[in-house]
Amino acid sequence: MAKTTKIFKGLDGVVVDETAISQVMPRTNSLTYRGYAVQELCERCCFEEVAYLLWYGELPTRYQLSNFKKNERRRRKISRNHLAVIQRFPKRAHPMDTIRTSVSYLGTTEIAWGGEPAEADMERSMNLFSKIPTMIATDYRLRKGKRRIEPRSDLSYSENFLYMCFGRVPPRRVVKAFDISLILYAEHSFNASTFATRVVTSTMSDIYSSVTAGIGALKGPLHGGANEAVMNMLLEIGHPDRAEAWLRDAFRSKKVVMGFGHRVYKWGDSRVPTMRGCLEDLALWKNDHKWIEIEDVLEKIMAEEKKIYPNLDYPAGPAYYMMGFDIDMYTPIFVMSRITGWTAHCMEQNAANRLIRPLSSYTGVKQRRVKPIAKR
C-alpha cells in the first residue's frame, strides 16, 4: 500500500524556521515586536523608534534615536538618473509596479552580490528606508501632472512623506494616525511577502532582489492589496442604508467580503482597535462618519452570522481615504512601512542561513517514453 503524504496547502500550520523579530502571543492574541505589544508601541513611540527596534532588537535611547533620524534624513534625496527613470514610468502603471521597478533600479546603482556582512545590509536597509518614501511620492505627484516636491530634512518620516505628496504637512492628528498605521503595518512574522524575501535571501541573493520579491508578493489582493479592495468595496456600497443588502447579496453570490478574516488571528486582529481609534479621530476631523457607519453594519453581521472578524486592512482603507490618498496608493504606503520588517528578516536569515527549498507531492502522469514526432 502506497504511503500517503500529508499536504499542508499554503504551508498552513507549518513552522519553517525561528524568528526573534515578532510574534502573535497565543493567549492574548497580541502582536509583539521584539517583545513589545504593538498597541503600546503606537501609544508611546514614533515610527522611527519602531524601525530602530526591528533592526537592532532594542528601543533606542534619545542619543541613538537622534543619530538614527539624522542618518535617515540625510539619505532621502534620489539621484537625477533615478528621477529620470521614475519620469519614464507609464502614467497608467499601478504604483506597486512603479515602486517595485524603482527599488530594482536602486539595486543597480551599487555592486551587491548578496551574502555581504551585516553592516552592509544595515546600510542598504537604511538607504531603502530613507528613499522609498521619496520614490513613492515622486511618482504620485508626476502621475497626477504635478511638480514633484523635494524631501525636507527638518520633518519626521511621516511628516516628510505627507508633505511630499500634498505640498503641506497636515494637522497633527492626521500625521499621528498615519504614523500609527506605519507602526501597525511594519512587521508580521512569516507573512507571504516576508517569506518571499526570506526565500530570496536564503539563496544568498542581494537585499534589493529580496525586497523586490517582497513588493511583488505584497501587491496581491489577498495580502497587501486588501486595503485597496476594502475601500473599493465601501465605495461600491456607498451608503450605510445599502450595507446590509449588499452583504446579503455577497453571501448569496459567494463574493469575498474584503477586510475580514486572518490566517493567524482567529478571534479578531489585535491591531484593529488601535487603527479603528485613528479612523474615528479622522472621521471627527473630516466630519464624515459614513464609512464607519457602513463598516459597523458589515462587522456586526459578519461576527454574528459568520464568526469572522475584521483585520487591519478594514479600518486602514477608509483612514487613508480620509487622509486624501488615491486608493492605488494604499499598498505602496504598506511598502514604506514593511520595508523595516522585510529588511530585519533579510538580516536575520543571513545570520543563520539555510536554503529554503520545500518539497512537493507529484500528482501528474506516470513516467513515460517519448515517441518520435512521426508517431505522435
Weakly modelled stretches of the chain, pLDDT under 70: 1-4, 26, 112-118, 266
> Residue 361 has what pLDDT?
86
The domain tally of the chain equals 2
CATH of the domain at 142: 1.10.580.10
CATH of the domain at 262: 1.10.230.10
Provide the domain limits for residue 249. 226-323
**Contact of 31 with 38, CB cutoff 8 Å:** yes
- Structural element, H or E, at residue 185: helix 172-185
Asked if residue 25 is part of any domain, the answer here is no
Identify whether residues 317 and 340 lie together within a single domain: no
Asked if residue 50 is part of any domain, the answer here is yes
What's this model's pTM, rounded to 2 decimal places? 0.93
Identify whether residues 106 and 202 lie together within a single domain: yes
Q: What is the dihedral of CA 152, 46, 328, 339, to 10 degrees?
A: 90
Identify whether residues 61 and 208 lie together within a single domain: yes
**Contact of 317 with 227, CB cutoff 8 Å:** yes
Asked if residue 190 is part of any domain, the answer here is yes
Asked if residue 51 is part of any domain, the answer here is yes
**Contact of 150 with 15, CB cutoff 8 Å:** no
Grid cell of 260 as nine digits: 475580514
Identify whether residues 169 and 205 lie together within a single domain: yes
Asked if residue 374 is part of any domain, the answer here is no
> Residue 7 has what pLDDT?
78
d(CA 172, CA 174) in angstroms, rounded, equals 5
From the list 361, 352, 207, 176, the residue with the least C-alpha distance to 281 is 176
Identify whether residues 177 and 202 lie together within a single domain: yes
Identify whether residues 64 and 209 lie together within a single domain: yes
Identify whether residues 174 and 90 lie together within a single domain: yes
Asked if residue 15 is part of any domain, the answer here is no
Instruction: Please identify every residue annotated as catalytic.
Output: 262, 313
Identify whether residues 52 and 173 lie together within a single domain: yes
Identify whether residues 158 and 279 lie together within a single domain: no
Identify whether residues 81 and 159 lie together within a single domain: yes
Identify whether residues 148 and 245 lie together within a single domain: no
> Residue 364 has what pLDDT?
94
d(CA 316, CA 46) in angstroms, rounded, equals 18
Identify whether residues 235 and 204 lie together within a single domain: no
DSSP secondary structure, 250-286, as one string: HHHTT---TTB--SS-SS--TTHHHHHHHHHHHHHHH
Asked if residue 329 is part of any domain, the answer here is no
Grid cell of 303 as nine digits: 461576527
Asked if residue 17 is part of any domain, the answer here is no
